[in-house]
Structures are given as structure tokens and as C-alpha cells.
A and B are shown apart, each in its own frame.
Chain A
């Protein structure tokens, strides 16, 4: 290596060094340690005690874990597609560039930018079992008031409504994706007599598949870890019907101080997220179209 190249290499390495140290200390190191904790019982007061596969055996019999996994699964597979569908639909409408688009976009974007704790408490209030906004809205259609967050059957739909309400982030990403589609393609299609639907089906949607895919991956990773709204609005209730993986890990780790078992749950969450993401990348080859490929 020439002295000049060597100097460049040293400078380069020095510049990424703070990040690299942080990666080792705050990410890689903790993950390795966490892989060890999985085999221990540890309540923080005494040193960790090696218990082999006991945590795994407990996990296999843990009814609460099964319920939680199911709840999280339902929440994820309903809220993410629903949110993306709404986001995509609205993005397509906004992309028509009718008058007032900027105003619509700003207003529709606001819910997603409301601080999550404010959103959670606002909807906690809206879903009041007595006479909140949700029940008032039902009243307009002559439907009797519901228990919402206090109703075993309605608590998950209620949480999904909160998630879908904040669809603005996905919408903005879709809009950026739409802007990336070359105008010339539409012009060419128009020359061939293509109408709105044909353009949507044959140009817009195929070219938007990378963006749809991105939103899907990010959405699933995020939804599977949902924590704050559940913690603040339901605490997992009623009767664990809204208990989610994030909250379960938190409970075991920071309320009951079962650090070993909480670590195992965190690894399970991680493996599920990785598996879902990998499956999506596999499936993506069949339906995601990249421009310039």
C-alpha cells in the first residue's frame, strides 16, 4: 500500500471507528450476552444461574406466550395490509395533482406525526366505553355503545384502527415512489390509447412494487414490535386479549425481572421478524419489479 493509500485507509477507519465501537458495545456485545442469558435464571439481585434449557421448556408450555403470539400475529396481518391499502389509495388520489393537493397531503399526514403517546391517550379517550367519540359515531347509525378497549372482541380491532389512522408515513413513501415513475411512460401509454385503469394496472402498480415491498417489510417489523399504544391504552387486557410480544417482553424483563426468560422471548421475536422478512424477500422475486433490471 502506498503511503497515500495507507493514510486514506487510516483516516477512513478512524472516521467509522466511533460507530464501530458503538456497534460492538451497544449492539453486538449485548446480543452475544443475551444469547447466554437465554440459558439462565436471573432476577438481577443474585448472579445469573445456569439452568440449561429450562426457559425453552417453560416457553413450550407457556399459555400466555401462545396467546400473545396469536394476538401479535392477528394485529400485524390485519393492520399492516389495511394501512398500506389506505396509504396507497390516498397516495394515488393525491398523485392526480388536483387543486388543493398540498393542503390535503399536509392534513392527512398529521395523524402519523402526532406523538405516539398523545395518539394513544387521544384514542383511549375516543374509545371511552361510556360516551366517547367512537360511541357517539356509532350512535349516529343507531348502533348501541360498545366497550371497545374493555371488550375482548373489540380491543384488537380498536388498536388496529389506531394503527391505520396513522397511515401518513407509508403514504408519503408511496408518493415519493410515484414521483419516481417516468412521465414518459404515461405519455407513451396515452398515445396507445390507455385509460386511467389500464395505466394504473400496467404502469403505476408494477413500477410501485419496490415501494410497496419496502412499506410491507418496514410495516411488519414495526407492527410485530408494537408496544407504546398497547402499554398505555390496554396494558394487554382485558384478560390478555391484547397482550402483544413487545409488552410481554417488557413485563418479564422490567416488571418481574425474569431477565433470562425475557431474553428468550426477545430472541423468539427476533427470529420471527427475521423469518418474516426473509420470506418476504424470497416472495419479492416473484412480484417486485425493479426499474433498470
Chain B
């Protein structure tokens, strides 16, 4: 039986497959290829129309922001809406920068962003490497603890943390914002990097071990360079978070000389008479660096967010 079948298969199978292919084609493409093409085209035209509409809704508010930032004072509510202002008032940007202490805010934001970046990358990568490559009693429990931290709302620890930093005399300094980053950063970074380290082949590390290199040296000179793509993703997530963060700076940074860019926007809102042109110019100034990073590193950007989605599986 089996011998018979092995010889018969080629002859039996061919016509059968041809018949099946014919039978199982989507009906319209068999009956009329042209009709299928028309249907396909109209479908993709419809898709384009829907996507265009959504892209417009996404983009129009942003264009409105830029266009308002370039309008003459007092014309921001002119109707019908002037999408391309005439005249274009570039000086709004200089005025916005001068109206509040933008340079100070920018400096403070950069300091916080850079320090949290360094601290967060180093400490989370180290912990991630430990979780990925070593065995020690309680490791899995600690890792679970770390993961559970991902679910913890900041609102819950916010008040007692404030009390702690107040005891330390750190209110109105950058330390409450920066120091925690050096102690593990965000649990999610540890999780993301651990997954990455786990996926790396161990050959190079094993060879270095045979050559007598120590654990931390191997981490720094071999594992870290290999983890560059994942580190870039974490770096972008970290930079964006601290650039945009509002609540923590609001709580800790009390005098204006310590404010970040995000805090500074309140000055435009709280002005006696709101000047929307300048407020929008300031908003554009805050947004441009983020969009630049986005377009320059779109791959890591998308990857970071996509991996955060995979994290839930």
C-alpha cells in the first residue's frame, strides 16, 4: 500500500492540485479578472480616502498650531481661518523665547533629560544583564517584583516620595527627578533590555570568560556594545519621557529658575491676557525637537513602542 502510494503520488496529485486551485480561487477572479481588479482598485481608493481623512484630522490641529504661532498679535481668531498667515511674523518666536525664561527652562530640561538618560541606561542595563545572565537565589522573585512595578501608578508613590525628598532637603532641586533614575530607572527598561540580552548568543561572552575577564567587564565591553539597538530604544523612550514630563517637575521644581520647558508653558496660560500666538510658538519650540528625533530615529521609536506592546504578552 505504502509502496504503491509513493509511486502513484506524482501522477495522482498533479491534476488534483490543478483542479483544486481552480475551484478555490475567489469566485470573481475566475469569472472575470477585470471585475476583480476594479473591485480591488475601488477598495484601495476607499482606503486612501479614509486614511487621508484621518491624516487630515491628525495634522490640521498641528498646522493650526504652527500657523497661529506665525500670525500677527490679535489676528489669531480671525475668521475665516487664515491657514497661511499674511504677513508671516517670525519674530513671534523670538518674543516667545524672551517673554519667559526659555533658555533657563531649556537648560534645566536638558540637564534633567541627560542625567536621567545616563543613570537610567546604566542602572537598568546592569540589572537587566544580571536578570538575563546569572542565577542567584531569589532572582525570579525579584524579577517579578520588578515587573509588578510596571503596573504601579505614579500617583500612589508620589505623596510619600515627596515626604522622603522633603526630609532630605531636596525640594526645589533636580535630585528627586534625577536620583531615582540611577537606581534602576523605569522597570520597563529593565524588562525590555533583559529580553534583548536573553536573545543574544553567549559565544563571545563565554570566550571572554575563558580569557579571564570578569563579569562586569564582560557586561561593559561585550554585552553593552551588542545591545546598542535596544539601548537606543530605551534612550529614546527615556529622553521623551523626561522632556515631556509635567507632574513630577510640577511637584518638585518650585521657583522659576529651576523650571523645565513643560512647566514654563503655564506662564502663557496664566498671563492676564493670553497671547495665543506666543503660546503656540512656545508649544512649537517644545515640539520640534521631539519630531526631529522621531523622523531621525523612526525605526527605534516605533520599535520601542512596539516592544512595549509585546511586553504585555
Question: Which residues of A approach B to under 8 Å, CB–CB?
Answer: 5, 7-16, 18-23, 25-27, 29-31, 33-34, 37, 44, 86, 90, 93-94, 96, 98, 100, 104, 106-111, 113-118, 121-126, 128, 130-133, 136, 139, 165, 168-169, 172-177, 190-193, 195, 210-211, 213-215, 217-218, 221, 224-225, 227-228, 231-232, 245-246, 249-250, 253-254, 259, 262-263, 266-267, 269-270, 273-274, 277, 290
Contacts and interface: CB of A to CB of B under 8 A. Distances in A.
Contacts of B219: 15
A16 B290 contact: no
Interface stretch (B6-14, B88-96, B160-168, B227-235): B160-168
Contacts of A210: 312-313
Contacts of A266: 155-156, 158-159
Interface residues of B, number: 101
Closest 3 CB pairs of A and B: A22-B183, A12-B134, A214-B312
A269 B159 CA distance: 13
B153 A121 contact: no
Interface in B59-92: 59-62, 64-65, 68, 76-77, 79-81
B262 A117 contact: yes
B77 to A, nearest CB: 4
A176 B246 contact: no
29 contacts: A8-B215, A11-B215, A12-B139, A15-B215, A23-B145, A26-B180, A34-B159, A37-B160, A37-B163, A90-B54, A93-B50, A104-B55, A107-B58, A111-B62, A114-B290, A115-B244, A115-B283, A115-B286, A116-B246, A173-B305, A173-B308, A173-B309, A176-B306, A210-B312, A215-B309, A221-B151, A249-B159, A262-B159, A266-B156
B173 to A, nearest CB: 16
Given A15-B127, A117-B246, 13 more contacts: A12-B133, A19-B124, A19-B127, A111-B62, A125-B64, A125-B76, A132-B77, A133-B81, A176-B306, A176-B310, A246-B155, A250-B251, A266-B155
Interface of B: 20, 24-27, 44, 47-48, 50-51, 54-55, 57-62, 64-65, 68, 76-77, 79-81, 123-124, 126-127, 129-131, 133-137, 139, 142, 145-146, 149, 151-164, 166, 180, 182-184, 190, 215-216, 219, 240, 243-244, 246-247, 250-251, 262, 265-266, 268-269, 276, 279-280, 283-284, 286-287, 290-291, 294-295, 298, 301-302, 305-313
A232 B269 contact: yes
Contacts of B247: 227-228, 246, 250
Nearest to B305: A172
Contacts, number: 296
A114 B287 contact: yes
B159 A21 contact: no
B211 to A, nearest CB: 16
A208 to B, nearest CB: 11
Contact of B137 (A9, A20, A218, A227): A9
B55 A31 contact: no
Contacts of A12: 130-131, 133-136, 139
Most buried by A among B58, B62, B268, B276: B58
A225 B152 CA distance: 11
A172 B306 contact: yes
A131 B254 CA distance: 35
Nearest to B262: A117
A250 B247 CA distance: 9
B164 A29 contact: yes
B47 A96 contact: yes
B266 A277 contact: no
Contact of A125 (B68, B131, B153): B68
Contacts of A254: 162, 250-251
Contacts of A109: 294, 302
Contact of A104 (B51, B79, B190): B51
A277 B65 CA distance: 37
Contacts of A191: 20, 24
A249 to B, nearest CB: 6
B295 to A, nearest CB: 8
Nearest to B183: A22
B306 A249 contact: no
B152 A117 contact: no
A22 B154 CA distance: 15
Given A22-B123, A121-B268, A173-B306, A37 B159 contact: yes
Most buried by A among B262, B266, B268, B309: B309
Contacts of A262: 159
Most buried by B among A8, A131, A173, A273: A173
Contacts of A98: 44, 47-48, 51
A259 B290 CA distance: 36
A8 B124 CA distance: 19
A102 B182 CA distance: 37
A27 to B, nearest CB: 6
Contacts of B157: 26-27, 30-31, 34
Nearest to B76: A125
Contacts of A270: 152-153, 155-156
B269 A124 contact: yes
B129 A15 contact: yes
A136 B265 CA distance: 25
